Structure 1
Amino acid sequence: MSCSAELLDSDWEKLQIDKCEGNNADKPVEKLHCAALDGRLSILQQFFKDTYDNNPDFIVSVPGRVNLIGEHVDYSGYGVIPMAVEQRVLIALRANGSEITTLVNMEKKYEKAEIDSTFRASTKPLWYHYFQCGIQGALEYSEAMKYKGMDVAVWGNIPPNAGLSSSSALVSAAAICMFLMNEPTVPLPGRKELADLCAKAERLIGTQGGGMDQAIAFLATEGYAKHIEFDPLRCVDVQLPKNAVFVVAHSMVEKNKAASNVFNTRVEECRLAAKCIAAQKRLSWQKVRTLSDVQKMLECNPQKMASLVGDILSDQGYSRDQIASFLGISSKELEEVYMSHGTKDVEEFYLKNRARHVYQEVARVYKFKNCCETLPEKDGILVLGKLLTESHESLKNLFECSDPALDELVDISRSHTLGARMVGAGWGGCIVALTTADKVDQYKEDLKRNYYSSKGVGDAEFGNFVFVTRPGSGAQIHVLNPEKLFGKDSGEGESKNV
């Protein structure tokens, strides 16, 4: 079967995931021997000691991620194929015996903060608010969980607001910190449970995202991408072609999705589209929340759903009154019962194109996975590149979440890559490009000459904006004071792979 051909119904069934495989997702935390700290871990340890005049007990390490295919589909109930990147958020911590947690960041642009157990959402969240979200998520895990103050030092090399999940990494790391403060009374949950917990916790910041970022942060396997599906969370490793090289390039345009309503508007448009499709098909639309829900009710594959959307919905934007009429309810009921507060100022909702993107993107996810599993590498890598290109065009034209800078980077990439697309929520951030090892150097030179030089980026800073990445590992805990966790006779430090 060709990956570029339409998948048959039997193929869709074969590509579904039954459970989490190959990652011990539900098992207790694995404890591994750890060598002495070096590199960034050692630097952070010294920074902590200089700041607090004491050594940390733990360093928590959580990766960022790049989503290879499946953008803006997780909150519609669909699967994605991300991989963890080598860039990570590191948090050094030590219990301080008080009710206050002190946070300092090695990046001086982030202000020092002192927080307690209370959390109030902000329309313009600051960096430490994400840490608070993780704490709140951990505290809600069990009545036995108690807030305990910490001294904390943070250092991340995941570019912020770049679509590489720096905020989710911070939320996830913070949750682990609070669990460490409560051991052994409350044991640290397994990876899968932590991923679900942290996905819910990040929504406290105000964004209605899915669970992709947290899932890959905890479930990543070094050397593999991951096909992740939701409700319930399940996953399987995806072996990428050995000749595939992924390059990430930052547009230098940043947008915090929690500080505006554009992201939540897309979430709302997808939900409303699902309800309207269900209503037109005389289904119980009140029970429908996602595009995945209505697809399951109609028992159609995503390719057929993409075609069906064109027969039901209009290209034009829908007002609240028009959507309410479509559903047979009043505008007041629509707003009060079925819409989120975060989109109250949005006047028009573009349902058809948002739904078309989601269903077509889901088809690309399954084709991507199928190519990795069935095609020879020399053929598969070509199709994977084509799928990335198609994804960007859809995000640009149907989902309308790209940016001129991202489009320019994708255009520059055409000469030396097999395909490229924006990653993350959009409206700025990064692209990911698929190429081969022999093309990387020339590709980076083209980016430097045709994009970054005009923006004042010199050779010394270039590596901060463009880098080759490979599939990394999931969250880790480095135990620097074994007495805190393993007893006085534990010997050398240990590392726990969460």
Structure 2
Amino acid sequence: MTTYSREEQLVNRLETAFVEGFGYSPSHLIQAPGRVNLIGEHTDYNDGFVLPCAIDYQTMVAASRRDDQCVRVMALDYQGEINTFDLSQPLVFDKDCLWVNYIRGVIDCLQSRGCKLGGIDIAVSGNVPQGAGLSSSAALEVVIGQTFNAMFDLSLTQQEIALIGQQAENQFVGCNCGIMDQLISAEGEAGHALLIDCRSLETKAVSLPPELSVVIINSNKKRGLVGSEYNTRRQQCEAAAQAFGVKALRDVDITRFQAQAEQLDEVVARRAKHIITESARTLRAAEALEQGDLATLGQLMADSHQSMRDDFEITVPEIDTLVDIVKAAIGERGGVRMTGGGFGGCVVALVPAELVDAVQRAVEAQYENATGLQASIYVCQPMAGAGVLKSVLLQQDVLNAQ
């Protein structure tokens, strides 16, 4: 019996659906990965540092160009629903088909930049768990940008594709997200995390020890308040930066914070403390990871979680319980913390491969008894960012060149 990888299963599913839905074979297969942030939470919109990695769960597109201005998009993850629109007409937000707005938004941003596009048939599907905080929306935006870039020879850089994805989510979809999710999906490197300076967008690949697994555990706690509380946290951070007279909290170090914290509202001060210490922790964590210093890395991840719990106040009891269970299973041989926007969602753990089974057993034995919920566990490896998997046109060009 043939065993297919996650990627192969997705490829087979997409190619079959494309042929059945559109009546011919796709010319291109293109992918963009989801991501998990190892450390650096809510620092992105404060111009700070983050340390995410792309994970081997992907959003994938099968596509072929058309000879008109029509775009047909088939969403396999929404019962094969097809949304059709005309590029010669203004693209507007579709209130009746919410998923297509991420795609329309990217195309709208490309056209507003003067990119010359044409009609296209697209089938899209993914195995990035939706609603878990692993950035399925950014993967969708990036894979669409990557698709048009490849098929219409737009010569966009990976960073430009990421910025277009962020612009689409900010301005078309209406979510005021930072750049991290799109940038790691576009620029990820296999076997590495990416230290991102969210002000300059400079990146540095940070090697993960090959014996480490990235374990993501979804608490399956329904994420409440995340939208309204996200905006509140952002406003509090902006208020703190204004009080310090700086562009963003990136520009305040811990010494200055401690000297002037009493001048801030008490809640605003705690929010600022998290951001200032979290950016510093992220830089130190990148160094520890490069050096294979798992004890230091584990302590930094623990400090990050405590800061999110006590100063930024974005964890929930279910998440705290998961962190405690995993920490007890790995000791000082790795790290664990909440990841994502907060108020539910996932924890991320960096775990030696030989301890992965012990972590899974501990979660299965203890978490449901403590919370009444069952966790979902994903064991991942850092993978490369978005790119073309298959191009019939490129293959034909190679044959012609020979």
Deviations along 1:172-208, one digit per CA (max 9) or x if unpaired, are 111222334433xxx3212223223322232122222
Q: How many residue pairs end up in the alignment?
A: 389
Amino acid across the alignment from 1:191:
Q
Deviations along 1:228-253, one digit per CA (max 9) or x if unpaired, are 11332211111223443321111113
Contact 2:53 2:192 in 1 (8 A): yes
* TM-score for both structures, normalised by structure 1: 0.72
1:226 pairs with 2:194: yes
Among 364, 367, 385, the alignment partner of 1:474 is: 385
Amino acid across the alignment from 2:176:
Q
What does residue 281 of structure 1 align with? none
Amino acid across the alignment from 1:247:
V
What does residue 404 of structure 1 align with? 317
What does residue 30 of structure 2 align with? 60
Amino acid across the alignment from 2:248:
T
1:211 pairs with 2:179: yes
1:53 Cα offset (Å): 0.8
Q: Output the CA distance in 2 between the equivalents of 1:240 and 1:488.
A: 38
Contact 1:71 1:424 in 2 (8 A): yes
Q: Summarize the Cα distance change of 1:74–1:252 in structure 2 as closer, same or farther, 3 Å threshold.
A: same
Report the RMSD for the aligned CA atoms in angstroms: 2.7
What does residue 447 of structure 1 align with? 363
Among 225, 249, 263, the alignment partner of 1:312 is: 263
Which piece of structure 1 moves more, 197-206 or 220-229?
197-206
What does residue 345 of structure 1 align with? none
Which piece of structure 1 moves more, 478-487 or 127-136?
478-487
Q: Output the CA distance in 2 between the equivalents of 1:232 and 1:414.
A: 34
Q: Output the CA distance in 2 between the equivalents of 1:203 and 1:407.
A: 31
1:190 pairs with 2:157: yes
Q: Output the CA distance in 1 between the equivalents of 2:91 and 2:255.
A: 44
Among 90, 98, 114, the alignment partner of 2:84 is: 114
What does residue 199 of structure 1 align with? 166
1:159 Cα offset (Å): 0.8
Contact 2:59 2:126 in 1 (8 A): yes
Q: Which runs of 5+ in 1 are unaligned?
A: 1-36, 279-287, 296-301, 316-349, 492-498
Q: Summarize the Cα distance change of 1:273–1:101 in structure 2 as closer, same or farther, 3 Å threshold.
A: same
Contact 1:138 1:179 in 2 (8 A): no
Q: Output the CA distance in 2 between the equivalents of 1:154 and 1:452.
A: 34
Within-5 A mapping of 1:126-141: 126-141=98-113
Amino acid across the alignment from 1:395:
M
1:77 pairs with 2:35: no
1:368 pairs with 2:336: no
Q: Summarize the Cα distance change of 1:116–1:216 in structure 2 as closer, same or farther, 3 Å threshold.
A: same
Q: By percentage of residues, which structure has more strand?
A: 2
Contact 1:148 1:181 in 2 (8 A): no
Bigger radius of gyration = 1
Contact 1:240 1:372 in 2 (8 A): yes
Q: Output the CA distance in 2 between the equivalents of 1:452 and 1:148.
A: 51
Equivalent position SS for 2:400: coil
Q: Output the CA distance in 2 between the equivalents of 1:214 and 1:303.
A: 29
1:237 pairs with 2:205: yes
Amino acid across the alignment from 2:76:
M
1:416 pairs with 2:329: yes
Q: Output the CA distance in 1 between the equivalents of 2:23 and 2:344.
A: 40
* TM-score for both structures, normalised by structure 2: 0.87
Amino acid across the alignment from 1:75:
Y
1:162 Cα offset (Å): 1.4
Q: Output the CA distance in 1 between the equivalents of 2:166 and 2:256.
A: 27
Amino acid across the alignment from 1:313:
L
Contact 1:101 1:114 in 2 (8 A): yes
Which piece of structure 1 moves more, 154-163 or 171-180?
171-180
Contact 2:367 2:373 in 1 (8 A): no
Amino acid across the alignment from 1:197:
I
What does residue 176 of structure 1 align with? 146
Contact 2:219 2:373 in 1 (8 A): no
Deviations along 1:95-154, one digit per CA (max 9) or x if unpaired, are 23343322222224574323344444589982221122222222233x2x2343322111
What does residue 249 of structure 2 align with? 291
Contact 1:223 1:470 in 2 (8 A): yes
Contact 1:63 1:88 in 2 (8 A): yes
What does residue 4 of structure 2 align with? none
Within-5 A mapping of 1:71-110: 71-108=41-78
Amino acid across the alignment from 1:128:
V
Deviations along 1:57-89, one digit per CA (max 9) or x if unpaired, are 211100111111111101110111111100010
Q: Summarize the Cα distance change of 1:251–1:305 in structure 2 as closer, same or farther, 3 Å threshold.
A: farther
Deviations along 1:258-309, one digit per CA (max 9) or x if unpaired, are x93322222222112101221xxxxxxxxx44222x43xxxxxx33244245
Percent identical among aligned pairs is 28
What does residue 427 of structure 1 align with? 343
Within-5 A mapping of 1:351-362: 351-362=268-279
